[in-house]
Amino acid sequence: MKNNKLSHFDTNTGDKREKILKAALHLFTTLGFHATPTSLISKTAGVSTGTLFHYFPDKQTLIDELYLSIKKEMSGVVGNEENPALPTKAQLERGFIRYIDWGMANPEKACFLSQFHHSPNISDAVQSRAYEEFRWITEMYSRAIREGIFTDHPVSYHMIMVAQILSGVLELLSLGEEEMSADAIIAAGMEKIFK
Amino acid sequence: MKNNKLSHFDTNTGDKREKILKAALHLFTTLGFHATPTSLISKTAGVSTGTLFHYFPDKQTLIDELYLSIKKEMSGVVGNEENPALPTKAQLERGFIRYIDWGMANPEKACFLSQFHHSPNISDAVQSRAYEEFRWITEMYSRAIREGIFTDHPVSYHMIMVAQILSGVLELLSLGEEEMSADAIIAAGMEKIFK
Amino acid sequence: MKNNKLSHFDTNTGDKREKILKAALHLFTTLGFHATPTSLISKTAGVSTGTLFHYFPDKQTLIDELYLSIKKEMSGVVGNEENPALPTKAQLERGFIRYIDWGMANPEKACFLSQFHHSPNISDAVQSRAYEEFRWITEMYSRAIREGIFTDHPVSYHMIMVAQILSGVLELLSLGEEEMSADAIIAAGMEKIFK
Amino acid sequence: MKNNKLSHFDTNTGDKREKILKAALHLFTTLGFHATPTSLISKTAGVSTGTLFHYFPDKQTLIDELYLSIKKEMSGVVGNEENPALPTKAQLERGFIRYIDWGMANPEKACFLSQFHHSPNISDAVQSRAYEEFRWITEMYSRAIREGIFTDHPVSYHMIMVAQILSGVLELLSLGEEEMSADAIIAAGMEKIFK
DNA sequence: GATGAATGAGTCTTCATTCAT
DNA sequence: AATGAATGAAGACTCATTCAT
């Protein structure tokens, strides 16, 4: 990495590896995994075909690493509660909002995650590693159920329903529905989640 | 056409075409569109490669026709209200139940629809034809909003949220969650939808 | 053949075999042999794929028979001198004119012959049978040379040159060259041949 | 590009591309365009199937580039008059001779040109680009007509007739006609051209 | 005779991956 | 590290031909 020295033209900031991941994110999201040739990824990234395979042993590893890195990023943003003293409901709400904000700020990443969630394109090993990244949510939801903030149903019920509703909120927000403000959409989503 | 004589059991009329569609449904759902070779489809269907292309000019048309036929089937089942005198809420509820029943009885079809809903693998023309098949829902939801059965939000909000929640219900049911009976899952889903 | 009875609509005059040959002539000329699927021939002819193979055992035989029949037709027209008492030169001239007239009246056939003359698409057996059809020309040219009507060169020289010049005449005529009347073109061609 | 170092014998620069063109020339001439599989071309050229498509995006482009390159080569040879002070007739004659010499030295190329001249196998765009390559001939022929070297007929008449006669000369020469020496054939051809 | 559904070998082309430079 | 020419297995699709009706 030569980023500490001033390069003549700062074209290689973040480096080829990052460029490849970025191009892959865009293309996988737009075209799908199998419909995206590695040659197109390298071309879009502005590197040679050889370079792609220098950083990633194969296409599968590329999407796996991309998936895992985005999941981690998302988990980090959502779970990053600065005020752990807050009551459970507020923590949940703030977490959901952070997720929505992140999703609006990173639409391709959000789209990528929902597209490749449960997809056979991600290897099983990575799927479960990604799942572990979210174990903390299980605990938080259990508490919410015990405290009566969530209805008295199994955790898995809430896991799925919350995910579905938040995903619907993101879809509505990105649709740019004119008859409903972003705040109204988010508020309505929150209401659907609790109760 | 060989239909002029009464065959004892009309098992093999349009046989191969159906077999191809069935095999394609299974494979597209399991592996994805691009990851499914046409050769595997014809092999699974027990026909030759040529036969597949005799019935469908190309792979794209195959998935398009598959998508449209399933959408139509689903729309037919869901919208088939025998008692139009029923109040709006009951009609909606019964429609949702019919959808869930259909989804449980045809898990691959349900899975296929959710996977290829908004997918670039379905041609735009077919997507919009499929959309038209569901225009009657728009009208029904408008009435529900006017009658106060749905919250006072735009139709598109309810379209998306209902779809997300029903999809969550189906996911839960197919998960075989032991701590929650099918009836309980459905009841909880209905509650989330109305208010 | 049911042509003797009045058919309700005289659509089947000349019969399917003829229709197939006609369609094949047009398509082979326009697209070439290998670029013309038999399915397109039968479709153009308005018959089923099976029917084509009922009349011609395979595609090769189809083009072979087409080639031979056209060669024979052309030979028949060109060699059909009603007045054998005419001097050699007049006979030659009248033969060339008959060839040109036939070529103008049957442009596709003329085009077909020049395209598949020496082409590997015609089987060797048929090529030589077609060649025999024109042995009479060899004799006529020999006489012309002896009589000093043709320059004193081998027969093969005149065979090739006459063919080339007549082919050029046909090309010019079909081009519809405005600066030169059909008669002038033919006259110029004749002059090039003799002398 | 690996040309920076001096290789001892520069035999393999652009090697594969040339080998592919050479194999294609031979096979297209012998078998025809559609009857020549790309797999056979690459096999004959001693490269992999992928390599062919690395240099030529598709089969059509391959034949187009082949056609254009041969036309250009031929035009370059024929039009390369070192002594522009020569009278028109001598220039023409020398050009024709250069064409015949080139045709005898490159029989496959000559055969290829005559086979694919006016063939639907060459794309229209390339046909017209090739045509432009010969515009200088039009001017030369106009001068020959004005000077009375050619008969007083339109340029297109001479274009076609000269081409036909030269093509006949080439055919005779390659036939190896025993009764007529090469010089005699050429002399007779020249006489036919200049009235 | 006539039909057209069915076949599968063969064709063009793509693309993940390697490797010499 | 970086390049991109080279590879060949695999995929979508075509088409001459057959055969049961």
Give pLDDT tens digits for B96-140: 999 999 999 999 999 999 999 989 999 999 999 998 888 889 999
Contact residues, D window 31-90, toward C, CB-based 8 Å cutoff: 31-35
Taking residues A169-182, what's their average pLDDT?
92
pLDDT tier, A82 (very low <50, low <70, confident <90, very high otherwise): confident
Q: What pLDDT does B83 receive?
A: 86
Contact A166, B165 (CB under 8 A): no
- Of B151, B156, B172, nearest to A177 by CB-CB distance is B156
Contact A99, A166 (CB under 8 A): yes
> From the CA of D108, how many Å to the nearest CA of chain C?
15
Q: What pLDDT does C1 receive?
A: 36
Residues 6+ apart with CB under 8 A from A194: A89, A149, A150
Contact D133, D75 (CB under 8 A): yes
Distance between CA atoms of residues B104 and B115, nearest Å: 16
Q: Is the pLDDT of residue D64 over 50?
A: yes
Taking residues A56-71, what's their average pLDDT?
97
Structure token digits, residue D45 = 């050229």
Residue C191: how many CA atoms within 13 Å on its side-chain side? 13
Q: What's B13's DSSP letter? A: T
- Inform me whether the C-beta atom of residue B187 falls under 8 Å from chain A C-beta atoms: no
Residues of D99-130 as b/e, b for ≥16 C-beta within 10 angstroms? bbebbeebeebbbbbbbbeeeebbeeebbeeb
- In this complex, the nucleotide whose C1' atom is nearest to the CA atom of residue C59 is F16
* Candidate from A11-20, A46-55, B148-157, D16-25 with smallest mean pLDDT: A11-20
| AA identity, residue A163 | A
Q: What pLDDT does C133 receive?
A: 86
* Regions of chain B with pLDDT less than 70: 1-13, 195
- In this complex, the nucleotide whose C1' atom is nearest to the CA atom of residue D5 is E21
Is there a contact between B34 and A32 if contact means CB atoms under 8 Å apart? Answer: yes
A97 three-class SS: helix
pLDDT tier, A14 (very low <50, low <70, confident <90, very high otherwise): low
User: Integer distance in angstroms from CA A27 to C1' E19?
Assistant: 27
Q: What pLDDT does D13 receive?
A: 54
Distance between CA atoms of residues C119 and C141, nearest Å: 25
Is there a contact between C154 and D179 if contact means CB atoms under 8 Å apart? Answer: yes
Decide: D and C in contact? Rule: 3+ Cβ pairs under 8 Å: yes
Q: What pLDDT does C84 receive?
A: 84
Of A78, A101, A108, whose CA–CA distance to A182 is shortest?
Answer: A101
Q: What pLDDT does B99 receive?
A: 97
Q: Could you list the pLDDT tens digit for every one of the 195 residues in chain C?
A: 334 444 444 454 459 999 999 999 999 999 999 999 999 999 999 999 999 999 999 999 999 999 999 999 999 999 887 888 899 999 999 999 999 999 999 999 999 999 999 899 999 999 999 988 888 899 999 999 999 999 999 999 999 999 999 999 999 999 988 889 999 999 999 999 997
Q: Which residue is nearest to nucleotide E10 (CA to C1')?
A: D37
| AA identity, residue B46 | G
Contact A166, B164 (CB under 8 A): no
Q: What pLDDT does B94 receive?
A: 95
C51 touches strand E (CB under 7 A): yes
pLDDT tier, A178 (very low <50, low <70, confident <90, very high otherwise): confident
D102-131 pLDDT per residue, tens:
999 999 999 999 999 989 999 999 999 998
A23-51 pLDDT per residue, tens:
999 999 999 999 999 999 999 999 999 99
D158-181 pLDDT per residue, tens:
999 999 999 999 999 999 888 899
User: Integer distance in angstroms from CA D72 to C1' F5?
Assistant: 28
